[in-house]
A = this chain, B = another copy of it.
Amino acid sequence: MEKAKIAIVGFGHVSREALAAVLESPDMEVAGVVLRNPVKVAEVQKEAGEIPVVTDVKELGEVDVAILGIASRAVPEVAKKYLEQGINTVDSFDIHGEAIMKMRRDLDREAKAHNAVAVISAGWDPGTDSIIRTVMEAIAPKGLTYTNFGPGMSMGHTVAVKAVEGVEDAVSMTIPEGTGLHKRLVYVKLKDGYEFEKVAEAIKQDPYFVHDETHVYCVEDVESLIDVGHGVHMERKGVSGITHNQRMEFIMSVTNPAATAQVMVSAARASLRQKPGCYTLPEIPPIDYIYGEREALLRRLV
């Protein structure tokens, strides 16, 4: 069996976990790590050992899939560059709604033009949760699904808080209140000379927080609060045919970067089994994510 050659782009939390997950995958090998910032190459090379760390994927020779462990807003441009070279891409772009749809259209064009596959928003939400929401509607087409996140750190909200003037360090926790509503608990360490009340008010007015009940706390040390555990509880109550009160739940409690990275690695495998184009996770046959011979897998999973 020829192993798929995987490049890891970036070297943050998710990329490190993706590297580990690729090394655990019998059908994959790591081609190397690609950094966009040349200043960091030497430092990352020390940690990566024998795995090459480069600034241009071309230095890695043949690459089948690039796993983009980078910030969501950088994904559209970076993915395009890889697709242009005929390399499949996987990202965990997490800006819900129209932004995903626009990227799907753009990357679909790019992927088809260069005979490649882009799998987008391949984390757990958007991602595997999107598949679960879809399956729940296949069982009960009418009704309501509530997605309750947490308790856990929200990366997007944390980044938003850190951008507020006067904040030296911060973490934003998502606390589920049920029926898809959430509280935000924000812990901030202030820069010298800033007044807590004013910073707290600025955070509450930020678009990321303005629609949710938000509580801001002043702390001396943010690092000691960090736990990357996260979770979700999805609930649907709906109608199958004309029969009401059909109930379904999906509950998950995971170490967040490891779960995100593993879903990306599973999506990298699936990318090699799709026709050229751009796909969100519910558009891919679930069995394509799994390592193994098709019939043996189905005998076990169906």
Residues of A in contact with B (beta carbons under 8 Å apart): 17-18, 20-21, 24-25, 96-98, 100-101, 104, 121, 124, 126, 128, 130-135, 137-142, 240-243, 245-255, 258-259, 261-263, 265-266, 280-287, 289-291, 295, 298-299, 301-302
Contact = CB atoms under 8 A, between A and B. Distances in A.
Contacts of A287: 134, 282-283
A141 B28 CA distance: 14
A17 B298 contact: no
A135 B132 contact: yes
Contacts of A283: 285, 287, 298
B282 A262 contact: no
A51 to B, nearest CB: 15
Given A135-B128, A263-B139, A121 B247 contact: no
Contacts of A98: 299
Contacts of A138: 128, 262-263, 266, 286, 289-290
Contact of A246 (B241, B242, B254): B254
B246 A258 contact: yes
Nearest to A259: B240
B137 A301 contact: yes
A250 to B, nearest CB: 5
Given A138-B290, A254-B246, A262-B140, A121 B17 contact: no
Given A98-B299, A130-B301, A138-B289, A241 B253 contact: no
Nearest to A299: B101
Nearest to A21: B241
A101 B301 CA distance: 11
A286 B136 CA distance: 10
Nearest to A145: B301
28 contacts: A17-B241, A20-B241, A21-B240, A21-B242, A97-B299, A101-B295, A124-B139, A128-B139, A130-B301, A130-B302, A131-B286, A133-B301, A138-B263, A138-B290, A139-B262, A139-B266, A140-B262, A141-B266, A141-B291, A240-B261, A241-B261, A247-B253, A249-B251, A249-B252, A282-B298, A282-B301, A282-B302, A283-B287
